[in-house]
Structure 1
Amino acid sequence: MNIWAYILKRIVLMVPTLLGVIAITFAVIQFVPGGPVEQMMQELKGRAGVHESAGGASQYRARQGLDAERVKEIQVLYGFDKPPMERFILMLKGFATFDLGRSFYHHADVWELVKSKMPVSLTIGLWTFFLTYLISVPLGIAKAVREGSRFDVLSSMAVLVGYSIPGFVLGVFLLVLFGGGSFLQWFPLRGLTSDNWEMLSPAGKVLDYLWHITLPITASVAGSFATMTILTKNTFLEEIRKQYVLTARAKGLSENKVLYKHVFRNALIPLVTGFPAAFIGAFFAGSLLIETLFSLDGLGLLSYESVIRRDYPVVMGTLYLFTLIGLVVKLLGDLCYVWADPRLQFESLAK
């Protein structure tokens, strides 16, 4: 099986997976109480009660509820006048052309909402992903080479302490200590840029951006180091103890050549396979608390608010995008696996 046949097969298998996730979520939504129709009815009742609270007859009417015609209008407005299966098929047709629908709450196109929130989530996710690998992999290699030394013990303690502190708690601590809480005011409390960002020079914009993301990225990255560092260390230790390393040393090769020419390539394989999970985890997991704490209006906050407000087009649209991204990244991870170890064949991955 060549690479293009493997990619085509994986893309074909993505379709039922994507349909299954969407179908299950859509079915669950049908049984969740307090949908958009009910919320709009309650809002209209509240407005009527407040606006006409002085009149006894009007107050009695508000308590009795809305008339059937008004309820029918609300159902037509949100598309709930159609049977569930018809709504599901219409939604799938829209997803096929990346028409994610229109938000009930924001009264805007879902795709436009996602694009407007994407820079915040990209900032948190990409910085977390790259910093985790750029720091954890060299640190793990250094710990493997110096196993049992004071450096190995102290760095393990530091990494585990950072892992044990939740990112949200660390974020609160950083805000209190450096964000103008009870001590120092070195960093801003909220946002990705200052109010006068457009007026700054190009260098000033870069510095302002880095100044704003320092605290949220620190809170997001701190807990991600432990797993990757320990994985790197254990993988390198396993390779260092194999027979081919002893043979390379016996031939007189320098330690750096043995480590980076022979060990590194083989030890890279488990790290490459962890790329998709690490990327998706950094991009989506935990972003809600960080975004809320630092007042960053990103995808995590949008998804949470859409669930609370029963904004179903946003819920289904973001779920579709997140699932699709996850499947594509998983495919890229498998391709990187074969690139890192040419001994593997696509037939073995396809099983």
Structure 2
Amino acid sequence: MLQYIIRRLLLAIPTFLGATFVVFFIVQFAPGGPYDQQMNALRKGQGAEGGGSALGTESMAIPPSQLEALQRYYQVNEPIWKRYLMWLGLFPRPVNDYLAEVGEERNVGGGYKVVARKDAASGTYNVYGLDNPTTPLDDWFVDPSQKPNSVWLYQREVAGIFTFDFGDSFRYRKPVTELISERLPVSMQFGLMSFVITYVVCFYLGTQKALRHGTKFDVVSSSIIFIAFSVPGWALGGVLLVILGGGSGIDLFPTGGFQSSDYDNLTAVEQILDRAWYFVLPTVAYTLGGFASITLLMKNS
């Protein structure tokens, strides 16, 4: 038993890495990804400012400084292996990017100003704080820029999947961890309810099927659960909304949300019933497809 657990744990490592690489590859290289969408947004923005038509928008050139900033943000010029390690949180990535002119003061947030100077002897650039203009700052780095007499000032940070820093949501413009924390309580309630219902129903159904093996009840119930297994949850949810959510049938259950507007004014029992009322349709759509495997497991165990 111990060897089996160890093998499973060791197998989880390449499985996890393989899954992360597939996700990373799709996000990075599939057409219409975040980088492509930002490029299109910049083109449309330039077209809108110039008063061009929709046809001319696609041919509008993106300013080099904006294009360079976008390429640095998504690290598109870095090797694929380095971008993957940055995404995992195993390699430091540039953060707090600022385009600055050499020898000119640059505000880097919080009222703190720095200046980049070129060492005449070595030809390298160093960053100095105005409070100590003789000692280079160790936590600031410099990359050359396509803009003449300008450089990119940045810091480094190890952040990614392994550090539970998932960045900002491209859609909601908020940290992903914040979005997860907002939705986690509802997801946990929904998952717990689905878990209990699934195992209670499947335990009883699997036991009855085992006791009545080969009977009409066994055949009919198997047909029903396999039909339910073949229907995607999202499709079943849409049908339930139309029939029972007031789409064109009975207006019995709410079509969205997870609690009533006066939820805070209800008693504890009323709050439980109110939440359960909102959870009926999504729970049915989510759990019905899983009845087949668990029921057969109960029957054959």
Q: TM-score, normalised by structure 2?
A: 0.63
Residues 91-124 of structure 1 show CA distances to partners (whole Å, capped at 9, x for unaligned) of: 3333333222333443322222223233444344
Give the Cα–Cα distance (whole angstroms) in 2 for the partners of residues 128 and 220 of structure 1.
7
After superposition, the Cα gap between the structure-2 partners of 1:30 and 1:131, relative to the gap in structure 1 and judged at 3 Å, is same
Q: 1:209 to 1:82 in 2, by over 3 A?
A: same
Is 1:78 aligned to 2:74, yes or no? Answer: yes
Cα gap change, 1:173/1:116 in structure 2, threshold over 3 Å: closer, same or farther?
A: same
Identity level (%): 36
2:43 aligned residue? 45
For residues 105 and 79 of structure 1, do their structure 2 counterparts lie closer, same or farther at Cα, with a shift above 3 Å needed? farther
Residue by residue over 1:56-111, the C-alpha shift from the partner in whole angstroms, topping out at 9 and shown as x without a partner, is: 9xx96873321222200222233445443333223333333322233344332222
Cα distance change on mapping 1:8 and 1:174 into 2, 3 Å: closer
Deviations 1:223-273 (CA, angstroms, capped at 9, x unpaired): 32233323433x1xxxxxxxxxxxxxxxxxxxxxxxxxxxxxxx2xxxxxx
Deviation at 1:212, TM superposition (A): 0.3
**SS of 1:182's equivalent?**
coil
- What is the aligned counterpart of 2:31 among 30, 33, 47? 33
Structure 2 partner of 1:255: none
Higher deviation after alignment, 209-218 or 198-207: 198-207
Question: Aligned Cα RMSD in Å?
Answer: 3.2
3-state SS of 1:90 partner: helix
Q: Which residue of structure 2 lines up, in the alignment, with residue 17 of structure 1?
A: 15
Once residues 155 and 62 of structure 1 are traced to their aligned partners in structure 2, the CA distance between those partners, rounded to angstroms, is 57
> Partner residue of 2:266?
200
Match of 2:61 among 53, 65, 69: 65
Q: Which residue of 2 aligns with 1:214?
A: 280
Q: Post-superposition shift, 1:48? A: 3.0
> Aligned equivalents of 1:159 and 1:140: distance in 2?
11
In the TM superposition, residue 24 of structure 1 has moved relative to its aligned partner by: 4.2
Structure 2 alignment gaps of length 5 or more: 91-158
Matching of residues 152-171 of structure 1 within 5 Å: 152-171=218-237
1:226 paired to 2:292:
yes
Change (3 A) 1:75 1:140: same
The AA in structure 2 aligned to 1:39 is Q
> In the TM superposition, what is the alpha-carbon distance from 1:143 to its structure 2 partner?
1.9
Kindly state the Cα deviation for residue 138 of structure 1 after the two structures are TM-superposed: 1.7
Aligned CA distance change for structure 1 residues 231 and 33 (closer, same or farther; 3 Å): same
Does the 8 Å CA contact 1:174/1:215 hold for their aligned counterparts?
yes
Greater per-residue helix proportion: 1
- Distance in 2 (alpha carbons) for counterparts of 1:23 and 1:168: 27
Specify the code of the residue in structure 1 equivalent to 2:285. Answer: A
Q: What displacement does 1:43 show?
A: 1.0
Q: Conserved in 2, the CA contact under 8 Å of 1:48 and 1:62?
A: no
Could you tell me how far apart the structure 2 residues matched to 1:158 and 1:12 are? 38
| CA distance, structure 2, for counterparts of residue 28 and residue 110 of structure 1 | 19
Q: TM-score, normalised by structure 1?
A: 0.55
Question: Cα–Cα, structure 1 residues 67 and 172, in superposed 2: closer, same or farther, change >3 Å?
Answer: closer
Q: Give, in whole Å, the separation in 1 of the partners of 2:70 and 2:5.
A: 45
Bigger relative CO (Cα 8 Å, ≥ 6 apart): 1
Q: 2:177 aligned with 1:179, yes or no?
A: no
The answer on whether the counterparts of 2:44 and 2:57 sit within 8 Å (CA) in structure 1 is no
Please tell me whether the aligned partners of residues 177 and 183 of structure 1 are also in contact (alpha carbons under 8 angstroms).
yes
Supply the AA of the counterpart residue of 1:220. Answer: Y
Judge conservation of contact 2:242–2:249 (CA < 8 Å) in 1. Answer: yes
1:186 shift after superposition: 1.6
Q: CA deviation at 1:190?
A: 0.8
1:199 offset after TM fit, Å?
Answer: 3.0
Aligned to 1:99: 165
Corresponding residue for residue 134 of structure 1: 200
- Please list the CA deviations of residues 275-320 of structure 1 after superposition, one character each: whole Å capped at 9, or x if unmatched: xxxxxxxxxxxxxxxxxxxxxxxxxxxxxxxxxxxxxxxxxxxxxx
Greater C-alpha Rg: 2
For residue 48 of structure 2, give the secondary structure of its aligned residue in structure 1: helix
Distance 1:85 1:69 in 2: 26
Q: Is the partner of 1:64 in helix, strand or coil?
A: coil
What's 1:147 paired with? 213
Structure number with the higher strand fraction is 2
